[in-house]
Amino acid sequence: MKLLFGLIGAALMVAFLASFVIKVQEPAMIIVVLIGIVMMFVDLWQARNEPDT
């Protein structure tokens, strides 16, 4: 269940940040957003093995 909610949250976060990146279109901002998205998915990947609380 935690994985499902994590994937929904990740999809919402990517959609929100994508709209921001499309409007700004600065290379530095795109890099920062991509690093944040990668960190989010790494955390989600690591949390998938933790038990649900």
| Residue 15 lies inside a defined structural domain of this protein | yes
| Residue 42 lies inside a defined structural domain of this protein | yes
| Residue 53 lies inside a defined structural domain of this protein | no
What's the domain count of the chain?
A: 1
Give the closest residue to 29 by CA, choosing from 39, 17, 38, 41. 17
User: What is the CA 33 to chain-centroid distance, rounded?
Assistant: 9
| Residue 36 lies inside a defined structural domain of this protein | yes
pLDDT at position 3: 86
| Residue 10 lies inside a defined structural domain of this protein | yes
pLDDT in tens, the chain (53 residues): 888 999 999 999 999 999 999 999 999 999 999 999 999 999 999 988 888 76
The domain of 8 spans: 2-47
| Residue 52 lies inside a defined structural domain of this protein | no
| Residue 7 lies inside a defined structural domain of this protein | yes
Q: What SS3 state is found at 2?
A: helix
User: Which run of H or of E encompasses 49?
Assistant: none
pLDDT at position 34: 96
What is the model's pTM?
A: 0.81
| Residue 39 lies inside a defined structural domain of this protein | yes
